[in-house]
Amino acid sequence: MTTRNMIEAINDAHRVMMERDDDIVVFGEDVGYFGGVFRATAGLQKQFGKTRCFDAPISEGGIVGTAVGMAAYGLKPLIEIQFADYIYPGYDQIVSEVARIRYRTAGEWTMPMVIRSPYGGGIFGGQTHSQSPEALFTHCTGLKVVIPSNPYDAKGLLISAIEDPDPVIFFEPKRIYNGPFDGHHDKPVKPWSKNELSEVPDGHYTVPLGKAKVVREGEALTILTYGTMVHVSLAAVEENGIDAEVIDLRTLAPLDIETIEESVKKTGRCLVVQEATRTSGFGAELATLVQERCFYHLEAPVERVAGWDTPYPHAYEWVYFPGPIRMKNALKKVLAA
């Protein structure tokens, strides 16, 4: 057991798996010699050599496209897109190729690859270093979408993603790489070392894909969330003295519908919390599923907390980010009805 922040946990998952499986290759922009702009791949090239971990040209389409060819050969590419905001040039390869090759070849070819990418806001990243594009991938059949919220899960989920026979989009909330963020931007952030979830086992372990985690048990309402917003939600619940059940979905696709249903049927109320823009976001799918499957248990309309339907603005970071006030008002609304 070693105390690790999210980056260290993710780095360790790479190391553990690359030692176990010679077919894993790691590449992306600046991931080789330098070890990545967030240090996620630090030391890997030195340990495993340049043919296992290397720098790539600035071409997301090329990175994903060559990874498809490598997977077709029989390797397991574990690639990085520097920011989720820059994944779009690779989108055709992801949606039209990676996601569909098992289906279109009737299983003759598969795509056991992981596409890692730092995502989310709260870091004054402006329009192109803050986006949360998960809905563009959950909408795409054939992809698994995973978003961890702490170091323990980050390592265990990444190892599961690497071992999974299907392609996984692995979004890492960069706001919480160094410590959990509760939405109070005006207060100092505690490092992960002060949080028990930074106790990360050495070596191999997994956190299963497709399994949500109840991070706080409660009776008053169910909060469905993931990534940074897990911590914002937990803080809001405590600050407002509400006995909410908070569920960290961890995997958005495939979704752990059983845990969701069980919780909402128990509490009768549901709040969906995401950082991404509101319209057609993943929260819309969550709200619809709850409505379809728990309608007769609901005592109030399902509410959504989300980013506004604008591009992510620089100066208005804390007006945009779904913080404590938006959370408080939404909680009040769900509980009042």
Partner 1 sequence: MSDKPDPRRNRPALALHVPEPPFRPGDTPDFSSIKVPAAGEAPRPDISVEAEVTFPLCTHLVRVLDDGGKAVGPWDPKLDADTLRKMLKDMKTVRVFDDRMYRAQRQGKTSFYMKCTGEEAIAVAAANAMDPEDMHFPTYRQQGLLVARGYPLKTMMCQIYSNKADPVKGRQLPIMYSDKKHGFFSISGNLGTQYPQAVGWAMASAIKGDSRICMGWIGDGATAEGDFHSAMTFASVYQAPVILAVVNNQWAISSFSGIAGAEQATFASRAIGYGIAGLRVDGNDALAVYAAVKWASDRARTNKGPTMIEFFTYRAEGHSTSDDPTGYRAKGEAEEWPLGDPIERLKAHLIAIGEWDADRDTELDKEIDATVRAAQKEAEAMGILPQQGFDNIPSMFEDVFASTPWHLAEQRDQALDEAREYLGHDPK
| Shortest spacing between CB 36 and partner 1, in angstroms | 19
Question: Residue from 67, 114, 157, 242 that binds partner 1 (CB under 8 A)?
Answer: 67
Q: Does 310 bind partner 1 (CB under 8 A)?
A: no
**What are 33's two structure tokens?**
């010699």
**HSE-up of residue 171 (Cα within 13 Å, Cβ side):** 32
Residue 130 CB neighbours (<10 A): 27
- Of the candidates 47, 131, 125, 40, the one whose C-alpha atom is nearest the C-alpha of residue 85 is 131
| Shortest spacing between CB 72 and partner 1, in angstroms | 6
| Shortest spacing between CB 280 and partner 1, in angstroms | 18
Q: Does 73 bind partner 1 (CB under 8 A)?
A: yes
Q: Does 288 bind partner 1 (CB under 8 A)?
A: no
- Please, which of residues 135-174 interact with partner 1 by CB under 8 A? 141-142, 144, 164-166
3-class DSSP string for 85-107:
HHCHHHHHHHHHHHCCHHHHCCC
Nearest-angstrom CA–CA distance, 131 and 87: 10
Question: Residue from 62, 201, 218, 311 that binds partner 1 (CB under 8 A)?
Answer: 62
Is 129 a known active-site residue? yes
Nearest-angstrom CA–CA distance, 125 and 256: 31
Given the structure tokens 């990175």, which residue do they identify? 63
Q: At 282, is the secondary structure helix, strand, or coil?
A: helix
Sign of CA dihedral 217, 153, 278, 183: positive
From residue 174 to residue 213, the character string flagging contacts with partner 1 as x (rule: CB under 8 A) and all else as - is: ------------------------------------x---
Q: Which of 129, 185, 204, 297 is catalytic?
A: 129
Q: Does 2 bind partner 1 (CB under 8 A)?
A: no
Nearest-angstrom CA–CA distance, 25 and 77: 5
Question: Residue from 2, 105, 128, 279 that binds partner 1 (CB under 8 A)?
Answer: 105
Residues that bind partner 1 (CB under 8 A): 25, 51-52, 56-57, 59, 61-62, 65-70, 72-75, 89, 92-93, 96-97, 100-110, 141-142, 144, 164-166, 210, 254-255, 257
Residues labelled as active-site residues? 129
